[in-house]
Amino acid sequence: MKACWMNGTMVDADDAGISVYDHGLLYGDGVFEGIRFYDTVPFRLDAHLKRLQRSARALHLDLPYSLEQLAAATRQTALATQEADGYIRLVVTRGKGALGIDPRTCAASTVFILADELQVVDSQAKRDGARLIVSSLRRLSVDQLDPRIKSLNYLNQIMARLEANDAGADEAVILNSNGLVAEGTVDNLFIVTEGVLLTPPVLDGALDGITRQVVLELASSQNIPCREQSLAVYDLLNADECFLTGTGAELIPVAQLQGRSIGSGERPVYERLQTAFTQLVRLEAAA
């Protein structure tokens, strides 16, 4: 069963439906969270729900359920899949309304929670390292759409991913309007240079990722020097290591950028963090 919690009722995902007048479908008006579960336990659920709440508040979108109710529904959905590990998509749309973008015509939000599998790259890229390109598109600036809002509008990322597909790459790096690295299409980016772990700051266009924060915490606990720092393509090409992080991605090593190898192929920092991450998710699931 592909479980789906829809406005308070658990249904099979294949039987779930949403109105063609829903503004989430018509205009991308809504917010979402992607949440991994391990041993049927959603990972960092509180952090995800608080980010959902902040995104909704930024869009003046009312959550029709409390965070406690959404937490219970998320756990219920994870258990209903009958799979130990998987991925959950929690979506809140503006709801059904009249044609036209005015949100005032939408009387009530739509909420659904879908559980399934998600793989950002194939198993070979996960093992040997992903091949990246630099997208020709640019991340919208903070004064256009704050990257901390996890909205349903992913067209910018989709177009960048199309470029990666056309180039035969696994993922694309998106720059901001100043030519600085923002993130991947669905993941944050880290590099290692001379033993120091670096990642772009949120206001350079990166989503304030939950897994990104976990990796920063793990680096600190592992005594790996780390900091947020603006990065250019130059820094990526000259890095000793590079990897991607995200709820869907988890941790993915990067082998190439623009057809050029990153570092020597050795990934000691990535491997330490990957091991620590795997231990952490199992430890928290068992708690």
Q: Residues 193-220: pLDDT tens digits?
A: 999 999 999 999 998 999 999 999 999 9
Section 101-106 average pLDDT: 96
Comparing 9-18, 58-67, 224-233, the range with the smallest average pLDDT is 9-18
Section 57-76 average pLDDT: 97
All CATH 3.20.10.10 domain ranges in the chain, comma separated: 123-286
Would you say residue 9 has pLDDT above 80? yes
Q: How confident is the model at residue 190 (pLDDT cuts 50, 70, 90)?
A: very high
pLDDT > 90: what percent of the chain? 90
Catalytic residue (choose from 50, 96, 126, 150): 150
pTM above 0.85, yes or no: yes
The mean predicted confidence, pLDDT, of the chain is: 95
More confident residue, 47 or 207: 47
Q: How confident is the model at residue 154 (pLDDT cuts 50, 70, 90)?
A: very high
Q: pLDDT at position 121, please?
A: 87
Section 258-278 average pLDDT: 96
Class of 3-116 per CATH? Answer: alpha beta
Q: Cα angle vertex 165, ends 163, 170, to 5°?
A: 110
Task: Name the token pair of 255.
Answer: 């082998």
Q: Can 126 be counted among the known catalytic residues?
A: no
Section 121-132 average pLDDT: 91
Q: How confident is the model at residue 1 (pLDDT cuts 50, 70, 90)?
A: low
Q: 123-286, superfamily in CATH?
A: D-amino Acid Aminotransferase, subunit A, domain 2 (3.20.10.10)
All CATH 3.30.470.10 domain ranges in the chain, comma separated: 3-116
